[in-house]
Structures are given as C-alpha cells and as structure tokens.
Amino acid sequence: MKILTAALALIGSFSIVQTRELGSIESPDILFIGSYTYNYPEVDYQLKGIDKACKGESVSVLYKFLNTKNIDYNDEYKLKLKDRFSLLFEQNDFDGVIVSDDDGLDFVLTYYDDFFSKMPVIFQKINDKEKAIYAEQTYANICGITEAIDYETNIKFAQSLMPNAKKFNYIADDTKTGIGVEKSLLEAYNDLNLNLVINKIDTSKLTYDEICERLSAIDENDITFYTIFTNDGAGRFYPLNEILQF
C-alpha cells in the first residue's frame, strides 16, 4: 500500500523529523496505533502495506488498536487508553510511531507530552485536514498525509446521473472521522454552488428505526452520499457488513 510505504519512508528521513534520526538506528522499534481493530476491512491493507515496506529491513513493528468503531471515543475512554499506553511505554522503548485515522491522531495530540514528544510521529488516512495541518505546524516531530477524496468530481458525477435532483442527502456520524469527512464534503459542495436542498442524516442522533425511516424517505431521484456510519443515537455501534444491509 503506497500510503504506508510512504509513511515508513518518511520515518527514515531526517529531513522531516527533527527529534531523532531513525536512519542511524540499526533496528528501529516502531509502534503502529490504529484507530479501529485488526478485523476492520481496510486495516488488512494497512498491515500488508507495512509488511511490504519492511520486507528486507530490520524493523520491528508493534501493533495497537483503539477499537473506536466499537467503543465510544469519549474522554472517559481516552483516560482508560492513557493508562494502557502508560504501561506500554514503561515496558517498551519505541523509536517512532505510525498513527492511522482521525481518532489515532487525536489520541497522539491529546497525550503528546505524556508519550509522543521524544520520537517522530507519522500520521496517515486523516480526514480532518485542519487537524492534520495543525499537528504538522505545531509539533516539529509530527508529519504525514491526509486521506484525499475528490468529492467535487464525485458530486459532479452524481449530478450528471441525477440531473433532476432537488436534494443533496448525505449520511454521516459524529465521530472524529465523520466530522473530518463532512467538512471536506461540504467544502466541495459549497464550491460548486449547487441549488439543492441539503439533507444531513446524522446517524449519531437517530435510533435504528429512525435511521431506517430517514433512508426509506429518500427520493430515488435525489443525490445521496454515504460518508461514514459508525454509531446511532442509542450508542449502538455498527460493523461495516451490517451497514451495507440498510
């Protein structure tokens, strides 16, 4: 996977990290912090990307996941994660960190002084571009790449398929990733100056039945974007295979 290959290449480059030069370390120990779980569909590609990038190199990678697709990523949970990572850092001496997705970057920034100030941190697959820019500009040892989706082209394509559309529906939630995706989507939508009624289906504020009702009410002639749907208003979390059944 090109994203992770690039991330590992960045870790070895002293030009973009100012705290430690990993190129001088014979066998660097890397910590990978994933926002989700091993069995989340896209994670398999990330792990294969790391394996490919490390092939033939003397690099040790320890994988840790925050499981935020199944557990509400709130302040209470962050403190529990902090306790776990405190023990992890007591028992290990890492030379660098790869962090994936928005919740992971948020965790790094929240506990930067506690764990991450002395080593290079590479982020990838970040949807909230503003937070990514903030991280790079604020901390000399943090850099990375965002998840760039060409929403403008996709919206134009959707409009060409649905020329009689009167509404622009989009499905989203209130997770860190959901907020970042929504910002990018609406930025692209506003740039196009479309004369459509915007209808947000915020799954984080609706029950299961309400979500079904809102989805069923969508006119087949209108444009609908699925961005992210992780949880509902009752606190229930949905795996991807279940979401696809709606």
Percent of the chain having pLDDT more than 90?
A: 58
pLDDT score recorded for residue 177: 85
Number of Cβ within 10 Å of residue 76's Cβ equals: 9
Q: Do 100 and 47 meet the contact criterion of CB atoms below 8 Å apart?
A: no
pLDDT at 106 over 50: yes
pLDDT score recorded for residue 22: 44
pLDDT at 70 over 50: yes
Angle value at C-alpha 143, between 55 and 148, nearest 5 degrees: 85
Give SS3 for 197.
strand
pLDDT at 2 over 50: no
Angle value at C-alpha 21, between 18 and 25, nearest 5 degrees: 160
pLDDT score recorded for residue 122: 94
- Mean pLDDT calculated for residue range 63-92: 93
Cα atoms in the Cβ-side hemisphere of radius 13 Å centred on 229: 24
pLDDT score recorded for residue 180: 86
pLDDT at 49 over 50: yes
- Mean pLDDT calculated for residue range 136-147: 93
pLDDT at 23 over 50: no
Indicate the pairing of strand 223-226 with strand 197-202: unpaired
pLDDT score recorded for residue 224: 94
Averaged pLDDT of the chain? 85
- Beta strands (DSSP E) in the chain are 29-34, 60-65, 96-100, 121-126, 142-146, 167-172, 197-202, 223-226
The arrangement of strands across the sheet holding 223-226 comes to 197-202, 167-172, 223-226
Whether the model clears a pTM of 0.85, i.e. scores above it, the answer is no
Percent of the chain having pLDDT more than 70?
A: 89
Distance in angstroms (rounded) separating the CA atoms of residues 214 and 50: 40
**Residues 169-205: pLDDT tens digits?**
999 999 888 888 899 999 999 999 988 999 999 999 9
In degrees and rounded to multiples of 5, residue 73 shows phi and psi of: -85, 75
**77 confidence band (pLDDT: 50, 70, 90):** very high
Indicate the residue type of 228.
I
Mean pLDDT is lowest, of 24-33, 92-101, 133-142, for 24-33
Q: Which two tokens stand for residue 103?
A: 């919740």
pLDDT at 11 over 50: no
